[in-house]
Homo-oligomer: A and B are copies of this chain.
Amino acid sequence: MPTLQDVAQKAGVSTATVSKVLSNTPYFSEATREKVMKAVDDVGYIPNLAARALTTGKTNIIGVVFPYIYETIFEDVTVMSMLRGIESECRKRNHSILLSSPRIDEALDTQFQMLVQSGYFDGMISLDSIQQTSFSEFAQENGIPSVVIGYHESEHYVRCDDYVGSHDLMKHVVSLGHQHIGVITIPDNTHIGIDQRMNGIYEACRDAGIDVDTLSIACGDFSIASGQTAVKDLLEQNPNLTAIVSINDRMAIGAIQHLQAIGKHIPDDITVVGFDNIELSQLIAPALTTVDQRPILQGQQAAQMLFNVLDKKSPEPVILEAPLVIRDSTSTAKPTV
């Protein structure tokens, strides 16, 4: 690979001059600019990023951190949509993405720690809502600009309004006259965003005068399969349920599958709603009523925010509205027999 040296030699100037031309400082004449650019072309020069990184302390790489919360994190469409949003912004700014998927343990993933501390990225975006550990916190301690998508303490963050979104969702279910409602969630105090969704659900119950303790609750692990199991559990707790509220779409879809398998008709026999608005939700029959998390937008906003931070601006946090999407899996409650 040709170096700055080679270019300088070819152009008959010093490396300092070449460097100045290339980094667009105003300190050179048009004539030398041409000489230099021609030499760059001739030798096919591309700056060595490691060398540049060593002198400037900038790598033009941003770290994207998706904690390995479950096996299929890479196949989680919502997460990947965020990545898509991040990528499009990074591309505009000519930055690359270094992907990190730290494991969740008692101790903070050491590979992740080294990555942060070895100075390989200029800034970091992390999905940061797992109660147990905060990745952004570690970045901040080490002086790496960081924006979080989610709920962990951070000066800069974007998230969707889980609370209001699920509040609206539950309000809609309740407004349909449902009284016997089952909720599919994940264990409390695991994921801060999910806790918020549960809070929204509870508050909507209280608003409607429904005693929160009358809700049947079952836990899954976000997966479709776990939604099937959870709804079975729910029906055992209370066979008279007329509505199932799931804190994500995948478990809602699992629930629908099981319900249909045991001969229930949706929404006539039972209403089912989810949260996320993944593509699948509009494809299944009946199409699922849900809340749109707008993950692509979350990713874009997070990236833009990070670039603003890197540019020494002080961007405001963003809380994205999460609109209710009413489709065909909801209907009015039939009077209980």
A residues apposed to B, CB below 8 Å: 1, 46-51, 53-54, 59, 61, 64, 72-75, 77, 80-81, 83-84, 87, 91, 94, 96-101, 111, 113-115, 117-120, 142, 224, 253, 257, 279-280, 283-285
Contacts and interface: CB of A to CB of B under 8 A. Distances in A.
A257 B280 CA distance: 12
B253 A283 contact: yes
A120 B50 CA distance: 7
Contact of A99 (B47, B73, B75, B97): B97
Nearest to A224: B283
A279 to B, nearest CB: 7
Contacts of A279: 75, 224
A106 to B, nearest CB: 18
Contacts of A285: 285
Contact of A117 (B46, B72, B75, B98): B46
B75 A80 contact: yes
B117 A91 contact: no
A80 to B, nearest CB: 5
Given A96-B98, A98-B96, A99-B96, A118 B47 contact: yes
Contacts of A142: 1
B46 A50 contact: no
A54 B46 contact: no
Given A50-B50, A74-B80, A224-B283, 12 more contacts: A46-B113, A49-B118, A50-B53, A51-B54, A61-B98, A74-B81, A75-B77, A91-B111, A96-B99, A96-B120, A280-B280, A285-B285
A96 B81 contact: no
8 contacts: A50-B120, A61-B120, A73-B84, A74-B81, A87-B101, A91-B111, A98-B98, A224-B283
Given A54-B54, A119-B49, A94 B75 contact: no
A46 B118 contact: yes
Given A50-B59, A120-B49, A96 B115 contact: yes
Nearest to A64: B99
Nearest to A44: B117
Contacts of A53: 50, 53
A51 B52 CA distance: 10
Nearest to A91: B111
Contacts of A84: 72-75
A50 B99 contact: no
A1 B119 contact: yes
Nearest to A117: B46
A324 B100 CA distance: 34
B96 A100 contact: yes
A99 B80 contact: no
A51 B1 CA distance: 18
3 smallest CB-CB distances across A and B, nearest first, come from: A50-B53, A46-B117, A74-B84
